[in-house]
Amino acid sequence: MTQLNIPIESTTLPNGLRVVISPDRTAPVATVGVYYNIGFRIEPRGRSGFAHLFEHMMFQGSANAGKMVHIKLINSSGGVLNGSTHYDVTNYYESVPSNALERVLWLEADRMRALKVDDENLRNQRDVVKEEVRVNVLNQPYGGFPWLDLPPIAYRNWSNAHNFYGDFDDLDAATLDDVQKFFKTYYAPSNAVLLILGDVDTDESIQLAERHFASIPSGPQPSPADIDEPPQLGERRGVVEEKFGTLPGVAIGYQSPRRLTPDWHAAAMLDQALHGGRAGRVYRRLVLEQQIAVDAEGGIHYPVGDLFDYNGPTLMVTRILHKPEYSVDQTIAAYDQIIDEMKEKGITAGELEPIKVKFRSNYFSMLEGGHGASIPRYGLMHLLACFSLFDNDPNLVNTILGGFMEVTPEAVQSVAHKLLTHHNRSIAIRQPAKKGAA
């Protein structure tokens, strides 16, 4: 049951655009995505937050579809649309009744061909993005904890370490020229993959893709960015003030293995043993048994990504909110006991087998939804895109489970020894602001 048979057809257009089709005619709806091989990790220096600001600009108008036309055409066709910026990819996607398929492809092709935006659009979206940062980070308890706290502590290469949502000064400094330059550098068809899923015919979809995308001029491949990190030689720690929330927070991140390596498969099982919900060791020990924490969760590339959607340095993160009567050191000591036990005693087959069952079950759910129920097959689209752009093999969707199911208890213990060391980790502490009598 680890070899799946999801139908996948893929091809590459002469301009370098990869196209992946996965039909499923259960319901009369289609999901379309365009993924660009550019995320916030390698946005330009002095322009923190730019990859995300740029994503907003992609909704501001293209050659034949001016501002608001994208949104209006998709909504009025009965569909929904959005985009999101990740570490290593940026996506644009639509779910629509399948009779709107060609319209969606036309819109995506139009903005891949030519972005048509002005200063007014840029000012407008800069304001919108600042409110996005305020509502998600600056004006929320535990905003950005730990996804914005850990990188500057854990990393030395600016690409991995900077503020991905953007310093406001950097957002203010962004120009229309930056926008067009970024578009030229990273948004060429050869740096992208088009995904068409759901109630579609494979041959017809490929012909539609050719019709709308084949004439987009190819561009040069962006030169590979340096995202390497110097070896970490000791534990790193940092403290960030928590302006609103009442509980102290601790986040611990260990440098994780590269994708698709044997260590990666084993680390995924290790991660589930530690962070697999209420049965996972971290939640069970810290929240349910010792009751030091009121919440504890985590994962590889958590919380703004997952096991499958990174292509560079990342962390296996545990995020803990603990009771104020315990100190940070006591909390970390209790956490370290869990880690030491894993390293010393490892994991039995009796614990690992259920973890594999749960992993497989989670994988199916991710394929079908993965984004609430609002974007059918978002997860399948996301996996196909990452396997295409990072690994050049969308069919991994059907075979990837095998490597996880073969992981042995010995491999889990061995990878625990390798990863879960003090010199391989970084700790971010969220300290509630001292306030006067409340």
Partner 1 sequence: MASAPRSESPSAVPPLTPARPVIWPPRVHKTLSNGLEVVLVESHTIPKFTGELFFRSGNAVTAAKAPGLADMTATVARTGTQKRTSREIEEDLRRMGSDLSSGAGADTSVISFAGLVDFSNDLLGLVSELAQQASFPADEFERERRQLIEGLRIERTTPGFLASERLRRVLFGAHPYGTISPTEEQVTGYRIEQLKEYYQHYYRPGNALLVMVGDFAPQTMMAQIEKIFGSWASGAVEPAPDPALPEVQGRRVYLVHLPDSVQTQIVIGNRAITRKHPDWLRLTLANSIYGGAFNSRLVMNIREQKGYTYSPRSGAHPLRQHGYFSIGAAVRNDVVAATLTEIFYEIDRMRSTPVGEEELDDARNYLTGIFSLGLATQDGLAGQLATSTLEKLPDDYLETYRERVLKLTSADVLDAAQKYFDSAHAQIVIVGDRAQIESQAALFGAPEVYDAQGNRI
Q: Which positions from 404 through 433 interact with partner 1, judged by CB under 8 A?
A: none
Q: Which stretch binds partner 1 (CB under 8 A): 7-15, 229-237, 260-268, 282-290?
A: 282-290
Q: Which stretch binds partner 1 (CB under 8 A): 187-195, 359-367, 399-407, 412-420?
A: 359-367
- Selected from 125, 255, 311, 314, the binder of partner 1 by CB under 8 A is 125
Decide: is 114 part of the binding site for partner 1 (CB under 8 A). no
What is the CA angle 404-405-406, rounded to 5?
90
Decide: is 399 part of the binding site for partner 1 (CB under 8 A). no
Residues 195-214 that bind partner 1 (CB under 8 A): 198-199, 201, 203-204, 207-208, 211-212
Residues 15-34 that bind partner 1 (CB under 8 A): 24, 26-29
Q: What are phi and psi of 162, to 5 degrees?
A: -85, 175
Residues 335-354 that bind partner 1 (CB under 8 A): 354
Residues 283-312 that bind partner 1 (CB under 8 A): 284, 287-288, 291, 294-295
- Please name the amino acid found at residue 314: T
Angle between helices 328-345 and 262-275 (to 10 degrees): 130
- Counting residues that bind partner 1 (by CB under 8 A) gives 92
- Selected from 141, 219, 222, 262, the binder of partner 1 by CB under 8 A is 141
Query: Cα separation of 260 and 402, whole Å?
Result: 12
- Selected from 9, 132, 263, 391, the binder of partner 1 by CB under 8 A is 132
Question: In the bound complex, what is the minimum distance in angstroms from residue 185's beta carbon to partner 1?
Answer: 24
| End-to-end CA separation in angstroms for the chain | 57
Nearer to partner 1, 273 or 332 (CB): 273
Element holding 262 (H helix, E strand):
helix 262-275
Residues 42-101 that bind partner 1 (CB under 8 A): 63-65, 67-68, 71-73, 75-81, 95-101
Decide: is 156 part of the binding site for partner 1 (CB under 8 A). no
User: Which residues, other chains included, contact 339 with Cβ-Cβ below 8 Å and sequence gap of 6+?
Assistant: 416, 420
Decide: is 263 part of the binding site for partner 1 (CB under 8 A). no
Query: Cα separation of 218 and 214, whole Å?
Result: 9
Question: In the bound complex, what is the minimum distance in angstroms from residue 233's beta carbon to partner 1?
Answer: 37
Question: In the bound complex, what is the minimum distance in angstroms from residue 59's beta carbon to partner 1?
Answer: 9
Query: Cα separation of 314 and 256, whole Å?
Result: 6
User: Which residues, other chains included, contact 424 with Cβ-Cβ below 8 Å and sequence gap of 6+?
Assistant: 232, 254, 255
Q: Which stretch binds partner 1 (CB under 8 A): 172-180, 271-279, 311-319, 422-430?
A: 271-279
Helix (H, G, I), strand (E, B) or coil at 12: strand
Q: Which stretch binds partner 1 (CB under 8 A): 41-49, 270-278, 328-336, 393-401?
A: 270-278
User: Which residues, other chains included, contact 203 with Cβ-Cβ below 8 Å and sequence gap of 6+?
Assistant: none
- Selected from 215, 221, 327, 399, the binder of partner 1 by CB under 8 A is 215
Angle between helices 69-76 and 101-113 (to 10 degrees): 170
Helices (H), 297-408: 328-345, 349-368, 378-391, 396-405
